[in-house]
Chain A
Amino acid sequence: MSQFCIQTSALTKQFGNKLALNNFSINLSQGGIHAIVGSNGAGKSTLFRLLLGMETPTSGSSVILGEDPQKMSPQTRGLVGYVNEEHTLPPWMKAGQVVQMQKHFYPDWQQHRYEEVVGYFDVDPQQKVSGLSRGERAGLNLAIAMAQNPKILILDEPTLGLDVVSKQSFLEALMFADESQQVTVIYCSHQMEEIERVADELIVMEQGKLTHHSTPEAFVDRISSWLVDINGHKLDADLIPGFLVSKKIDDQHQITVIDHQGDLAAMIGAHEVQQVPVNLEQAINSFLSKNHRRPAARS
């Protein structure tokens, strides 16, 4: 098996006239938490569904744990955990019954890990799933997924709608219940502070395309923000290579650019240029808003 646990090459999925996934190629190495960010409809869920074999790609191919997802064997399926934002579990069953059921399917069930994860949440096994709070359900779902001893764990916005306490428990359980650190976690979220805390790798998707893949720090390093004074002239963004977004603050402009090079002041004729620090959230927001503000933006 190759060093990558997930590989996609030119993966494309078209729904009608809409390209949900467009020539998406990525290699994910084993281990670590890979965070995927992108606006709604960027194709994250489509990617997951393709990786799980729930959809057939229009073109391109992918390999997950050495197998074609469309022909994934049940054994390999058992090595891929999946938790979605709804935390779907059969609502008519008691929490304990669900666990009993799932246990039967996984020969490598790690009861201690299940108990450790579920320990972060206060799940009563006699409670029906429909009666669990959102946080408890998320916890139960994560506990089941992690007890399956997966090689890959796909989490599709797992903390959506959770309160602060559950969210924290969820992240703790996710990061610390796996003592071996061998699980490759693919984590999709809109919560930047979560990504900052958990992500080893950052994957940015836009309109079905992969637009960035590195560590979060390397990503922030690419983005720089400047406060410029151009004496009330109109800002011509076309003059700035890598321009992402600008914001007018009083009579100054805050300009955010990617892969900044050269003398900004000379480019736009500003008499004063001052760099301002950028955090991950700002970096991602600026990066993603590029396409929203300027639909005709050059690449």
Chain B
Amino acid sequence: MLELFRCEFRRYALWSILVCVSAICLLFFLSKLKPLFEASTEQSALTSVIMFLGSFLFGFLQMFLHKRKNHWTFLIHRPLSPGRIYLSLMSAGAVCLVIALFVPWLTVTFIHDLFTGHVIDNRHYLYAFFALFTAFFAYLVGNLTAISSYKGSFTALIMLYLILDANPKTPFLQMLPIIILCAMFVYLNLVSFRVDLKKPLDNALPIVLITSVTSFAMIFLLLLSTTIFYHIPRFIAGNHPDNNPVAGSYHALWQFEQGEQAEYVLQNSDYGLKEQLVDQLELAEMEYLRIRPWNFMQPGQVYTRDVQYALEHNQTNSIWQFSHDSMLLEGREKLSSEPLGFLGKNGFVTKAEDIGEADRFTSVPFLVRDRFLVTSDAIYELNYEERSFLIKHQPGAGEYYVSGPQITDLFVYVVTNKQTYIFNRSVLLDEFQVAEAEYVIPHPASVYEIDFAKAYRMVDGYVMWYQGRFLNGYDQSGVHMTYARLDGQIEQIASREFTQYPHPPWIRHFDVMISPLLYLAQVQVYHFLEPEVKTSLYLPTSQVWRQMEKHGTSYVAIALNLISLFVAFILLRRQHNSLQVNISWYLMIGIIGLPALACLVLMTPWTWSSPLTFFRARHA
């Protein structure tokens, strides 16, 4: 085994060392341009793409080169079990990834830690591991794509999107899914790496694993397919709703001007002064509110998810950077990198030994302007000259900010999960004292179901506009309008539901319809990874299902599942699989439905010779 590992490693050693050296050079060059560990979408997107694509291609190429007929015989025809042969090759590949990706990150992080004033936390080191595991996963998928007869193997890459998109609460949860995935794919590759590569999988477990993983991708592909069989034909026919808005539908709002929109929503309202209001709204100053919940930063999260890098205060020439290890802001002199002390929940601390547990933040703050710290439950203001610290605002019990304060020329808007606070700009920004909100306006619906909120500034207060595709529940769009007056009186002036839909229900409910249980499972996984975030995706299942029943799509979903089972029956009847293989397929398709059927089709060897034998298995 070791010999084969050595042989394979020799093949790529030089290349991985070259990549390693050039990556180190590149990273140092980048760190001269900007702080290397400052999260930047471009940088992390680019590194991710290069890393994953590179690892995937490397994994694919490595196995592809071995798969060529005579090379395959040379490799596999030796007194060593295929499993051990694969492990030798895979370890060689893994070592190459460590050299090419892990070593550069670790080196650069370590050097930053030792020789610069930048705050380097454990999470920065953890990122090297996280990157390594994600790249290793891409590599394993590349391996599988080359060796497996399953044509959908590569779609497992979609897992990377889910992993990178999720914002888990702890570093453990950050690492857990990708480690599980890697273990799963090592297993899948081991069972797929067989002397006769064309032999289909004949065990239940690998079939269940690969189907569950790639079914997510199949959902995505099936969703894309609606473009081909629904949207494009309707565009060609010239009656696509995007070009021909359906009157009375939520989507039709978009074609209206500001005033017309208000008129449209107010149509059925009892409000007395509709016409005047429409005229006023047409002229009123309007502000879109940041009502979509932000992902608040989690302690120990990977640095690429950071929102800010550091607080820079120009008057004092200081830089304050939040350390997730100490849960404090650590200050340094801008030019000399001289340490300037710490800043905790209770204010400035000069010496490290004076820091108490109470000083440490419990959540990671946003840094706003050059002197505001915003955690989900308080806005703090700093005074650098006096080195003092003030809690500027705190929401009520059970309330938390969903986004950072939105500062306009005259007003500052702060949105919590329950209500909107509107401050006078000068109160919040200019005075070093506790800020009192001018208006406090409760949300008419759950903040997670509101897609947009707009604030119209009127002479005597605000007209708030809330709209959402799922405002009144799953697939029940709506708009609410609230009048908040200076005297504190709040009046709901309109609530419009949209009963007309531009698309038929089977398009609107497509994602749930093709696999209700997978939809549910996905929701549960997200809940597990980020329990706090509840966007409109996470509506109660019972509610979703009720709405689907109303439109009949629940029956379509059941029918689709039954049809999938029937098609699976036809496909499987022609193959000579073992009982456990057939049972696992029926189970998977029974549970997951159409996406699992897509997996089965992609796993069935096709023969193109004649239409009749289209799906006949090559292996009798």
Contacts and interface: CB of A to CB of B under 8 A. Distances in A.
Interface of A: 15-17, 49, 52-56, 58-59, 70, 72, 74-75, 77-78, 80, 82, 84-86, 88-90, 92-93, 97-98, 100-102, 104-106
A59 B10 contact: no
Nearest to A48: B73
Given A16-B609, A70-B196, A52 B73 contact: yes
A88 B71 CA distance: 6
B79 A59 contact: no
B17 to A, nearest CB: 14
A16 B76 CA distance: 25
Given A16-B608, A92-B10, A102-B78, 4 more contacts: A16-B607, A78-B79, A84-B70, A90-B74
Nearest to B194: A53
A16 B610 CA distance: 9
Contacts of B620: 58-59
A86 B72 CA distance: 12
Of A77, A89, A98, most B-chain CB atoms within 10 Å: A77
B78 A78 contact: yes
Contacts of B74: 88-90
B4 interface: yes
Contacts of B619: 56, 58
B76 A54 contact: yes
A75 B196 contact: no
Contacts of B7: 90, 93, 97-98, 101
B574 interface: no
26 contacts: A16-B608, A17-B609, A17-B610, A53-B196, A54-B73, A54-B195, A55-B198, A70-B196, A72-B195, A77-B77, A77-B78, A78-B79, A80-B77, A82-B77, A84-B70, A86-B70, A88-B71, A88-B73, A88-B74, A90-B7, A90-B11, A90-B74, A92-B11, A102-B78, A105-B79, A106-B79
B571 to A, nearest CB: 18
B199 interface: yes
Interface string B1-22: 0111011001100000000000
B80 interface: yes
A80 B73 CA distance: 12
Contact of A56 (B77, B196, B610): B196
Nearest to B197: A54
B78 to A, nearest CB: 5
Contacts of A101: 3-4, 6-7
A84 B196 contact: no
B244 interface: no
Contacts of A85: 70
Nearest to A141: B74
A106 B77 CA distance: 12
Interface in B152-195: 195
Contacts of A55: 196, 198
Contacts of A78: 78-79
Contacts of B196: 53-56, 70
B226 interface: no
Interface in B452-475: none
Contacts of B2: 104
Given A17-B609, A89-B74, A56 B198 contact: yes
B81 interface: yes
A80 B76 CA distance: 12
A17 to B, nearest CB: 5
A82 B71 CA distance: 12
A74 B195 CA distance: 11
